[in-house]
Chain A
Amino acid sequence: MLTEQTDEQLLAQALDGNEDAFTALYRRRQGPVYRFALHMSGSPQVAEEVTQDVFMFLLQRGRGFDPSRGAVGAYLFGVARNYVRRAMEKSHSEAAMTTPAEDDDPLLVTNFDPVGEIARGQTSKAVWKAVLSLPEHYREAVVLCDLQDLSYAEAAEALGCAIGTIRSRLHRAHEMLVRKLQNSAPALAGFSGDAARCLS
C-alpha cells in the first residue's frame, strides 16, 4: 500500500513515473506545506500559491533530491520557506506602493486581513496576530515547532541551522509572544505582567 510507504519511497517511485505514488506524496505533504505557508503569511491565497510552487519545484528539481541530506518533509518545508519569503517581499512592496504603514510592524502593513479569513475566536485571532508580528526567523521556529509539531531536529533541518539555534529562537519567540499577548488579548488576561525568571 502506498500509504504505508515513506516519503522517500514514494518520491523514488514517482521519479520512475508512478503517478499514484506522486499523488500519494502530494496528498500527504500538501497539508503541512499549506499550513506552514498559511501560518507564515496569514494569507490563504499566498498559502495556495506557495503550495503549488513547492510541488512544481519538486517536479523540476526532484531528481536532485539527496535523501542523505534530510527528509523529504524538511526539504519541502525549506522550499516553502523560500517561496513564502518571496511572496511576502512581493506583498510588502505592493503594500508599500498602495497603502501607508499603520504601525511599525512590517507584517501588519500588508493589505490583506489574514485573521478575518480563518480565525473564529478572539484568542485565535490575537494569537495569530501576535505570531504574524514576530520577526521572520522567530516566526519560522514557532510555526514549525509549535504549530506544525516538528521536532527541533526536523525544524533545524528545514531551516538549515543548528538545533541550538532553533531552541534559542523559540525561547526568544515565546517571550515576545507572551509580551504581545499581555497587551492585545483580553481573553488571555491570565498572562502575567512580569514573567521574569529568577535564577537563584
Chain B
Amino acid sequence: MTCREFIETAESLTPLQLRLLGTKDEPMSAHARECGGCGKWMESQRLLGNALQVLRAHTAQSEAGPKVELAVLEAFRTQGFEPVAAIAPDRGAPAVWKLSRFFEVGAYAAVAAALIVGIFLGARMWRDRQAPATPVQAQVTSTLPVNPRVTTVAGKTESLGNVTTEIAPKSASASTSRGGGLAAKRSQPAVEQAATTTVDRQGFVALMFCDPLICSGEEQVIRMELPGSASASADGNGSQPVIADVVVGDDGLVRAMRIVNQ
C-alpha cells in the first residue's frame, strides 16, 4: 500500500471509525508501521477519535427538558398542524431563481422588440421594392452654372443656393434614388468602383450609398449646368459644360445625377 492509497482509505473513514478499525485492517496497519508520516497521522486521528468519543459519551443522554415537551404537545393539542400556507412564488424562490426570472422577462422583451423592428424594416423594404419606378418629371426653364468645387464634393445645400434654376417638385422620383440599385459616382475612384453596378432606367447615377431609412423622404430634381470636369469621367472631354439633372434630398445632399446633354 502506498501513502496515497493509505490516505485515501483513511480519509473515507471518520476518526471514530478509524479508532474502531484498530488493527483489523492489516494493510493499513502495516503501512502505518512502515511509514513514519502516515503512522503519525493515523495515530493523531485515533486520538482524535478517542477524544470525540469521550465528548459523545458525556452528552449521549442529554435531552430537552420536560417543559419543552409540554409546550410542544400543548401547541399540538391547541392548534395542531397549520394548513399549508400559500407562499408567493417570488417570496419563496431563491435569489438565483428570481434573477433568472428577471433575465427571462428581459429576453422575452428583447425578442419582442427585435420582432417589431424586423417587421418594420421588412415592411419598408417590401414597400420600396413594390413601388414602381416612375419617370422623373422636371421642368427646367433656365440654367446657370453652379460652383464646380461644391458640386464635385457631393453637392451641399449651400452650393445649390446660388443656382437660379426653377425647381419643380419631384413627385414619384424618390424611388429612383432609393435602394442600392444605382451606381456610385462620388469621385473618380468611386466611379471606377461602381463601374460594374447598374444604372437607373432614366439614366440617373447614384452619387452616394444611402441607408433607405436615412435617404427616404421628399426629393427634388434640379436641372443645372455643370462644368465639363464633372462629366470628364464619362467621355474624357472635360472642357465643355454639361447640363445635368440632380436629385437633391430634403437634407440638401445630392442623391443622384443624370447628364442630359453636353
User: Chain A residues in contact with chain B, CB under 8 A?
Assistant: 14-15, 17, 19, 22-23, 26-27, 30-31, 33-35, 38-39, 44, 47-48, 51-52, 55-56, 59-64, 118-121, 123-124, 126-128, 131, 142, 145-147, 149, 167, 170-171, 174, 177-178, 181, 185, 188, 190-192, 194-200
Contact = CB atoms under 8 A, between A and B. Distances in A.
Contact of B75 (A17, A56, A64, A181): A56
A15 B82 CA distance: 9
22 contacts: A22-B73, A22-B76, A26-B73, A30-B64, A31-B62, A34-B64, A39-B55, A39-B59, A51-B64, A52-B68, A60-B81, A63-B83, A63-B84, A118-B62, A119-B58, A124-B55, A127-B52, A171-B11, A177-B48, A197-B3, A198-B38, A199-B4
A38 B43 contact: no
A178 B56 contact: no
Contact of A192 (B14, B43, B68, B85): B43
Interface of A is mostly: helix
B97 interface: no
A19 B77 contact: yes
Contacts of A34: 62-64
Contact of A19 (B41, B73, B85): B73
> Which of A26, A126, A185 lies at the interface centre, i.e. has the most chain B CB atoms within 10 A of its CB?
A26
Task: Give the size range of B's interface with the partner.
Answer: 35 or more
B2 A200 contact: yes
Contacts of A196: 37, 40-41
B51 interface: yes
A118 B59 CA distance: 7
Given A31-B63, A52-B71, A142-B52, 10 more contacts: A34-B64, A38-B59, A38-B62, A59-B75, A59-B82, A118-B59, A147-B59, A170-B14, A188-B51, A195-B41
Contact of A128 (B12, B38, B40, B55): B55
Interface of B: 2-4, 7, 11-12, 14-16, 35, 37-38, 40-41, 43-45, 47-48, 51-52, 54-56, 58-60, 62-65, 67-69, 71-73, 75-77, 79-85
A15 B69 CA distance: 18
A178 B48 contact: yes
B79 to A, nearest CB: 7
B246 to A, nearest CB: 75
B84 A174 contact: no
A194 B15 contact: no
A35 B63 CA distance: 7
A172 B64 CA distance: 31
